[in-house]
Chain A
Amino acid sequence: MIQSLISLFTENPFFQFALLAGIASSITSGIMGSYVVVKRIVFISGSISHSVLGGMGLCLWLKRVHGISWITPLDGALVFALLSALLIGWTHLRFKEREDTIIAALWSTGMALGIIFISLTPGYNVELMNFLFGNILWVSKSDILLILGLDAIVLLAVFFFHNRFLAICFDEVQARLQNVKVNLLYFLLLGLVAISVVLLIQVVGAILVIAMLAIPPAIAGRFQKRLTGIMVLSIFLGILFTLTGTSVSYYLNWPPGATIALGAASAYSLSFLKKRN
């Protein structure tokens, strides 16, 4: 079985692309998910990931109804993810006391827009279903290039801003006292989370993104005491969940995204057996 699994990933081009997409998305989600978990913005990330449906629906509608062939649902997802990150960031800074309600409203507005555009688009939207529930085996060469490009942006930003992100995640007041541009850093952090969301949509779909963003760092946090340690372990866990989930889904004929998310959730439950460091 292991032999056939290895040959699956070495010989089948669909699985090779899936392997590459899994590794690339696990790198960014491991890093950005760690910030999301320690800064306790999992709910915000959930809102970003669900609101992308609006962008994906819009792009499908433009493509199918208005014949704009160069546009892809992933482009719409990226634009909507960044826009909702900006809106949520502004909401957090401006309406702190009503933040959760406004974020929930944005969450449902994005999804509502998506549903309306889908209903206006003729045909059965297999493409959209794949984005909603994920299908890592459906990743194309151009998707891989986009994923690697976004990966590079996130890695570069984190390399330059990690110490600043760590400082604002722990204590924004202290950073403000030093006249650090906390608001700008907060928007940057949310923007990078938005990019990670788009990367993960390829793997587990918009609905299940939150699982892959939050679960690997949550498990890693039980074993590691430093944020950098959590990031490294989260990346490995993300790759492990993606590969095992994809393989299991292939043999059981289950949907890959859901299988990956279920595997991650099961591992998270098991991690509670380990006492926190």
Chain B
Amino acid sequence: MGESGRLVTEKLTKRYGSTTTALREVSLSAPSSGIFALIGRNGAGKTTLVRILATELAPTSGRASINGIDVVEDDKRLRERIAIVPQEARTISWMTPKQSALAYLMWRGFGHSEAKKRAEESLARLKLDKVADTLNRSLSGGTKRKVLAAMVLASEAEIVFLDEATNGLDPISRRDFWEILRELAKDRFIFLTTHYLEEAEQLADTLGILGEGRLVAVGTVPSIRGRIRYQYSIKLPPNTNVPGVAEGEVTTGRDGQVQILTNEDEAFAISRKLSVAGTRFSIGPVSLDDIFFQLVGESTLAEREAAG
């Protein structure tokens, strides 16, 4: 199984005990280059999928391969090529960023002088050279996450897994981190999981959406947008008379703002009506947020109906 240059899974399933199914027959095929972002709610199975692909966890059934290397049968070979920053990973408090990167590279088998050179280059590349000799415990949360990224960036790994790497970062640190990820993705395959839809939209070359252990969609953002029922979004301010909608969904937010999700023809028809009435409104293709809620919402509903 498997193809060169692709991440492939076939009916990948993971059960914990007899009651919990974290992944349900996940099958996908995506390029193993650039950034693959996996999004889903808490408990959707993102971390389970990452851990299986990173050879940390054995699947219950099904198969997976990256660049033709099976994650179970050929795990030792794959480990030569991968690196991971796990969810909730932290820098070791009694070490400095330079020591952290150096030790990680030595664990991967680099000689001391080569590891030292790579560690210093990587820290400089991520603008961490000024704090390279500061104890990790004295660094900010954002800087600590960058140190973890510097460790894997310094390595020879061609495939890097980042499990919710930007969780807990403030918006500015998160955007800084995105730059690092774009840098990493220039010569590696980055498999990223995130809660932040904006992050996935900004970074992902390929996107996967998980809902309750099932792969709901996979592809580029435009291709996924093309597959959903309603591709246009019209937003109206609170207390606006909403025109009749022949096809689509109308929702009202807590702030009173109205959103109409609809198809292209209906979107233009509604726009004309609103323009004639002199109503303020905005129109555009649906955002990843909208796509996510349409797809995962439908998936969750279908699951519950199937469960009776």
Question: Is B one of A's binding partners?
Answer: no
